[in-house]
Amino acid sequence: MTKTSSRNNGCLTQRRQCPCGDEQCYIRIEGDEEDTSVEPMVPADPNLINAAAHTSSEVASADTPPYVGQSFRTDDEAQEFYTNFARRNGFAIRRERSKGNPAHPLGVYKRELVCHRAGVSLPRKTAELKRQRNKKSSRCKCEAQMIIKKNVSKGVTRWVVVHFSNVHNHELLDSDEVRHLPAYRNISSVDRERILFFAKAGFTVNLIMRALEMEKGLKPGQLTFTERDLRNFLQASKNINRENEGAELVKACKAIKEKSPDFRYEFTLDMNDKLEHIAWSYPDSIRAYKVFGDVVVFDTTYRLYAYDRPFGVWFGVDNYGNTIFFGCVLLQDEKPASFAWALQAFVHLMDEKVPQTMVTDLDMGLREAIMNVLPDTKQAFSTWHIMSKLPSWFSTLLGSQYERFVSEFHGVYNLESENDFVHQWGQMINEFGLGSDRHIAILSYHREYWALPFLRGWLFGGLLTTGFSLSIKAFFKGFLVSQTRLKDFVEQVMVAIDLQNQAGEEATMRQNYQNVQIKTCMPVEEHASSVLTPYAFEMFQRELVSSTQFAVYETQRDTYLVRHHLKTDGGHLVSCIPANEEIHCSCKEFEFSGIMCRHSLRVLSLKNCFMLPEKYLLIRWRRESSLFPKSSGYKYRSQALRSLASIIIQESSLTKDRFDYAQWHMSKLLTHVRDMPTVDEGASDLEPVSSLDATVDVTPVRSRGRPKKLKAAIDIPKEMQALQESQALPEMQVLSETQDLSETQALS
């Protein structure tokens, strides 16, 4: 499901040039028409939910109204469902009130979604009355609404409808009228990109409208915006001075460098002394790269459409499974020479440390640059980018067979043997009649860059998953909007990194507070639990438990065939040399993920090995490599206690005996703590306040919130709150149901 918000990454749009080189071949990424970056094009209530962004096929298919007890995976999904219902029934909705905040153990746990005509008109300021026509407010105290609450049970979060009313005190609009409501008038990032393309080609506003209608197969007047909206958008785009903005961005980097000497950036100028390329990174990111820079994602699929520039980001993953930011680059174009400069700049920013593996999009220019600049780095095409192209390439061509094709594609992709892949890939191509398709030819020729059988043996550390791609998108959403100027870009990204680090730190603390469940009672499991982070240990434990289902046959000295006990053929060869503490498996899982495989663990068990050799407990997965905590100040202590409190609530509310025990001890603890000194004389209360201040400019935290100079930029968007929840382990259960019992009773 595509998550959406009225706050968006509107200045970014995903690149849609097909790698086949045909300019007429247009990649339509799933969810394009309901792009994550959609903005209202007319003055409207800022709380109105941008309805055109909420049209996921899963939710839009629901024709029935919401009902009490209905549950959704996220509050976005609930809004999406209600928005689609509202549009089909002639009204719009807006978000009215919410309960909870980031400091609450459950975050935001209640939302009220109301009809766009709910409430009364708000009084306008005198200045606004003078410059705006005095039009009548549409609000008429309509009481139609849907209220949802967060329910966390056994680690699973659901948003449940606790109240629904569909009684309106006004006339509902028909389908032709409802699309003119402000909530439904918008220009998606896909359309914005096409509009700028047509405008650059000299199209008039009228011709642009007709061209978009023809591309979408719509009748005149059926677009989600009007000619006036289009003119306003083009006028706003003309107000951007691209040449001056580049110079302002360099000045902003210089100013940050003066404040924080550990901030790093590099740039080049073209023949006219205008900004050509620029790359930068922050102190926290450089520190993280030293530990976790072995595997890097270089995502170049975004563009700053207002400036017509490619935008690239380097990401990684830490030992707790959290997404970490390494650096970003703004390029002049997408030529191999530009990508080569970006790679050279990145390595220089990171003290010449070269990554072992780099995951990228299926881009031939970038592939050429990596081969030339980083010849010792293994490049792989990201799975999620390839899968996002399949609908554009094959859905129309295959028709009703497309879903079966995708299923078989997944099966072939996950094969273990290279020979099996080549054989079954050829069979699949012939079965679906794709032998002459140019896109299949691209995938076949470059199979060593994306097919799993050819990637085993290289370390990826979990970076080939779709979930990681989604977390990258969540990183940008809410911070970068179409009005963002280049001179503010560096600071906006810094704010996003700070909030991402907060999410990572909280996720780390939550994991560390969990009780490790030993499942096999094997000494090797206890040893691993004391060394690996909970995230890495969970992966190890999964392999260890599975190893008990395998039989071992010695084929020759120090070589074993390991096969599932229910199979009579196949299996994997494991070589084990105890004297050298060397063990290798033909599945290459350790080389791929950094976690020892089930086959090797089965052989170690046979060899009476009670502790894992140190070399098979990678530094990147150990507790000692953790990036957090960075300080021991008030902010860290407060967050650590909140995390611990949520675990105590979870465990203590299960039974009355647990509750009584916890309540008695916590009361005693509170009394004891109150008797302690309120000033910590033996330790400093200093802590960094942002990623720029990780090593310099450390000041005491004396007030709540962030520095005033960043206040306008750091309202935590809902997407980042969702990222914080997704990175934290889902271990919280519902707080006492009595906390909102009175409200629920009143509503019912």
Which one, of 248, 265, 246, 249, lies nearest residue 332 by Cα?
246
Q: Which of 183-192, 205-214, 250-259, 383-392 has the lowest mean pLDDT?
A: 183-192
H-type helices in 375-483, by residue range? Answer: 383-390, 396-398, 402-413, 418-431, 438-445, 447-450, 452-455, 466-476
Each domain of the chain, given as residue ranges in start order, spans 43-184, 385-455, 523-625, 634-747
CA 748 – CA 329 distance, rounded (Å):
54
pLDDT at position 462 is 76
pLDDT at position 73 is 86
Cβ–Cβ < 8 Å for 264, 236:
no
Phi, psi of 737 (to 5 degrees): -65, -10
pLDDT confidence tier of residue 621, bands split at 50, 70 and 90? very high
Q: With 60 as the cut, is the pLDDT of residue 39 above it?
A: no
Tokens 């930011």, located at residue: 325
Q: What single string gives the DSSP state of each residue in 61-93?
A: T--SPP-TT-EESSHHHHHHHHHHHHHHTT--E
**Higher pLDDT among residues 515 and 144, named by residue:** 144
Percent with pLDDT over 90 in the chain: 34
pLDDT at position 649 is 83
Q: With 50 as the cut, is the pLDDT of residue 45 above it?
A: no
| Strand, coil or helix: 106 | coil
Cβ–Cβ < 8 Å for 57, 420:
no
pLDDT at position 7 is 36
**pTM of the full predicted structure?**
0.66
CA 626 – CA 320 distance, rounded (Å):
8
What pLDDT digit, counting tens, does each position of 493-529 carry? 777 777 666 666 766 767 766 677 888 889 999 999 9
Tokens of 92: 């719009």
Which one, of 510, 508, 506, 526, lies nearest residue 518 by Cα?
526
Tokens of 561: 């065939």
CA 475 – CA 313 distance, rounded (Å):
11
What pLDDT digit, counting tens, does each position of 276-327 carry? 999 999 988 999 999 999 999 998 887 776 677 888 899 898 888 888 889 9
pLDDT at position 50 is 40
CA 395 – CA 137 distance, rounded (Å):
46
